[in-house]
Structure formats: C-alpha cells, structure tokens
Amino acid sequence: MVDWARTIGLEVICAGRERATSRNTVIRTPETVWKYFGFTEEQVSTGHFNAQMYNSFLDSTKSSIEMCALSNATGLVPQKSGLQFPPVSPKDLPRVLKPKAAGGLLEHSGTVEIVASENRTARR
C-alpha cells in the first residue's frame, strides 16, 4: 500500500496497523502468561500451547517486529520515542496520526505506528 500511495503521488505520513487492545505495560513472562488468556492448567498441559508465542502477543513484541519490517521495506523512519499504541477510532485516524506540528501525535511524517482499537478504560 505504501508503494501504491507513493506511485500515485501521495505523501505517506504514517503506515502501520491496528491492534485489538492497547499496549500492555504489565511485565509478563512465558511462565505467567496463561492467566492473562484464561487457559486452564489442563489445557496448557496438552502441549499445544507455546508460552513465548502467546506472550509476544501481549507484550507487543510481535507488533513491534512487524513495524520494524515495514520500516525496513519502505524506508519509513520510526519515531525516536518508539511506538505509542494510541487508542484511535477509524474516524479519528487522520486527526491523530499526523505530526505534532500539525496537531497530531507523531514526531515526524514518514513514520510507522500501531493504534489500539480501545483505550486503557476499554472504551472505543
């Protein structure tokens, strides 16, 4: 999509993706991850669950790696402060995902970001 936008002459202000929840700041480890998903010990003992993989969904590792790949593939420059995971509804994307100088929250144009579909109080 970035290539397409550039090909038709558009400036790419920000590219990224949506995440179903905001970034979790609670420290989790593969040993503690199961209680956050609600799996029982019996379910986990079947051996069909990978704690490191599930933890990567909660601690934003997977999302961050995806944005790194997007940056590398497109030349978009990450923000110095890193990903912010702001809670933004689809209708508010143009208002929020623009540079601070233009009233948004981004450090600069031509960057990557992940938005959360809900804020920390679980409101959309």
Cut 0.85: pTM above it: no
SS3 108: coil
Stretch 5-23: mean pLDDT, rounded? Answer: 87
Mean pLDDT lowest among 35-39, 82-86, 101-105: 35-39
Query: What distance lies between CA 28 and its chain's CA centroid?
Result: 17
Q: Residue 106 and residue 101: Cα distance in Å, rounded?
A: 9
* C-beta of residue 45 within 8 angstroms of C-beta of residue 24: no
Q: What percent of the chain has pLDDT over 90?
A: 49
Q: Residue 76 and residue 73: Cα distance in Å, rounded?
A: 8
Stretch 9-28: mean pLDDT, rounded? Answer: 79
Residue 30 per-residue DSSP state: T
